[in-house]
Amino acid sequence: MRIIGVLISLIAVFAIVAVASLFLIPAERIARIVSDQVEARTGRTLSIGGDISASVYPVLGVTTGPIALGNAAWSDRGPLFEAQSAAIGIDPMALIRGEIRIQRIEADRPTILLETDADGRGNWTFGEGGAPASAPAGGDDGPASAPLAGLDLLQVTGASIRMLDNGAEVFALSNADLTLEWPDYLGPATIVATVRPAGRDVQVNATVPEFANLIAGGISPLAAVVASQGGTVRFDGRAGITPEAAGQVAVDLSDTAAFLTALGIPGADLPEGLGQRADVTAQMTYTADGRLTLRDLAAQLDGNALAGAVDVILAEKPRINAQLTAGALDLSPLSGGGAGGGDGGGTATQGWSTAALDASALNAFDGELSLRAEALDLGLVTFGPSRLYMNLGRARAVFELREVQGYGGTWTGQFVANNRDGLSVGGQMALGGVELNGLLTDLAGVERLSGRTDLSLSFLGVGQSIDAIMKSLSGDLSVKMGQGTISGIDLDQLMRSGGGAGGTTIFDSLGLTVDIASGVARNEDLLLTLPGLEARGEGAIDIGNRTLDYLFTPVSLAARGGRGLAIPVRIKGSWDDPSIRADLGEAIDLNLAEERERLEQEARERLNRELEERLGVTVEEGQSVENAIRETAREEVEREAAKELGVEPEEGQSVEDAVRDRIEDEIGEGLRNLLGR
């Protein structure tokens, strides 16, 4: 116990001596020595003004008035560091030996200006040529040789930090806290900082084994962790303050949007599959000229795994080149759930959305991306092995399909989005040997048409909304199919007996071409063939206004003694609820043209004879009695049509209504079965 008492007494004596020694040395002299030592180590002037007084608490040393550390010689924007006051702590044991060694510097609410010049030099690089200045020579105010020393603690709170790149502001931070522990000048330093770019704490912890070399402009090993709400980023490698770095980087984000928001990067609400949660590792290299490379990249973005390499040139407009590979890549959330409605996101019956499209991302960067995936799920459609390529330059993106396999066939083509002078979209696509059943099921829920097809499509649309683009579409489409089936309707049975609903049509071929102009697709040559039967189609589909007017005409080639029997069906109205009606007028024109002409002639001759016999008047062509003649002929034709179709009018029902009801019932049921409605 006596030994402990002696030790305590010695500590007390040393403390008294240290405090007494401090008050024996003028505070101004301490401040001047501190200034000289800082200048010796940095090559910058440390100005200390105002009232300077010795202090015991909270630090043993001096407190000052305004303090400022000079900027680089090439800058005229004021000090690198300045504060209204500071506390400078002195090593008490060194003080007992007659030396003044800085142990601690504290500053409250300082301002820090970081900047680079046109040559990329940073004002934080101390000493001419990046080397630290030598220690000062001896003099009246200090020892003959001031040994290089570290700093036990540098602590600033509530700092305001600005970063300028050749005069242009890169970022500005306020209310930042920083702690630097660097007890040995040639040893490691520990840095703990809290910055708040967007009001949330972002914690930075770093260990720098060769801190003296780092601040002199050299390279040092560096281990750092950046943590905030949503995750962490770790770096382990080597770095310099030029800046430049090389090493292993690891990103572990449970909430990417929250993490980026904390860093002051808003609007980063990524779709599922592109990194709402991210686990990324890579070998990173960053050079002083703004080139970032990632090698051995392994990224887990939500449920998608990617690997490859990325090169980034950071400039006023970045350039990104990437070569990536993936397994089964699920991008289905990008499909967004359909075309959407009108203003405010209404239902599909309201038309295409008129909300303005933001295509500014096309001008965010330039670059190239190549992607290989074992499988690709885009939500509406899915593909097998796929090779894709994108080139983006000057707000124009070209997406190419290379060796894409899907639905039993091959897809090739390209899609272009151009925002150089207003937004336009266009492209060409070719499908070879694609099975329509799976494709139409995925795209539109239509499951009744099957068969392999060759398809080619080109299109171009211009506008600042989906509505404007759809109403401006131009292009062409060609479809060629061999043998296939249509379930839900048996056209052969329908034409023979009028009862083909619910069956299956096996056809030999199907083909059509479409011309698209001003948002309207027109087709005049739809042809579907099967033994003894064919079906033709013509009409228009108004893509912009989501309406259609199409005439579909099945023809039984062997009916009526080989003269054929056609039953046209008019499909008209909105996409969502079209009217499907038999076109009786068209049926009469197609099937009974000869009979109508004969009956009209007979009626005309009979009426003329009666008029001549009774009135002595000859009826000339074009006179009003033609209406009576045509009505008589029409009644005869309708009766003939009813006879051909085996229709018996109900009591009080006209022949026309009876024929129309029969045709509409059979054809309508069959087509609705075909469309799955």
Rg (CA), the chain: 43
User: Which phi and psi angles does 604 have, rounded to 5°?
Assistant: -65, -45
Residue 173 has pLDDT above 70, yes or no: yes
Residue in the block written with tokens 């796929």: 386
| Rounded CA separation 313/220 (Å) | 24
For 474: left if phi > 0, alpha if psi spans -120 to 50, otherwise beta; the answer is beta
Residue in the block written with tokens 């003080």: 95
Residue 108 has pLDDT above 70, yes or no: yes
Q: What is the mean pLDDT of residues 119-144?
A: 51
Report the 3 state secondary structure along 260-322.
HHHCCCCCCCCCCCCCCCEEEEEEEEECCCCEEEEEEEEEEECCEEEEEEEEEECCCCCEEEE
- Ranking 84-93, 314-323, 416-425 by mean pLDDT, the lowest is 84-93
Are the CB atoms for 223 and 205 separated by under 8 Å?
Answer: no
pLDDT band at 492 (very low <50, low <70, confident <90, very high): low
Sign of CA pseudo-dihedral 67, 69, 74, 77: negative
Report the 3 state secondary structure along 317-370.
CCEEEEEEEEEEEECHHHHCCCCCCCCCCCCHHHCCCCCCCCCHHHHCCEEEEE
- Ranking 294-308, 418-432, 440-454, 506-520 by mean pLDDT, the lowest is 440-454
Position 28 scores a pLDDT of 72
| Rounded CA separation 415/194 (Å) | 46
Query: What does the pLDDT look like over 330-369, one tens digit per residue?
Result: 888 765 544 444 444 433 446 788 988 888 888 888 999 9
- CB contact set of 171 (below 8 Å; sequence gap of 6+): 162, 163, 197, 264
Q: What is the mean pLDDT of residues 38-47?
A: 78
Q: What is the mean pLDDT of residues 1-29?
A: 44
Are the CB atoms for 258 and 194 separated by under 8 Å?
Answer: no
Are the CB atoms for 339 and 352 separated by under 8 Å?
Answer: yes
Residue 50 has pLDDT above 70, yes or no: yes
Query: What does the pLDDT look like over 620-654, one tens digit per residue?
Result: 555 455 555 555 566 666 666 666 666 677 776 67
Q: Which two tokens stand for residue 399?
A: 């997406």
Q: What is the mean pLDDT of residues 487-505?
A: 65
pLDDT band at 539 (very low <50, low <70, confident <90, very high): very high
pLDDT band at 388 (very low <50, low <70, confident <90, very high): very high
Q: What is the mean pLDDT of residues 39-55?
A: 76
Return the closest-CA partner of residue 667 out of 498, 545, 437: 498
Q: What is the overall mean pLDDT for the chain?
A: 77
pTM beyond 0.75, yes or no:
no
Query: What does the pLDDT look like over 237-251, one tens digit per residue?
Result: 999 877 789 999 999
Position 4 scores a pLDDT of 39
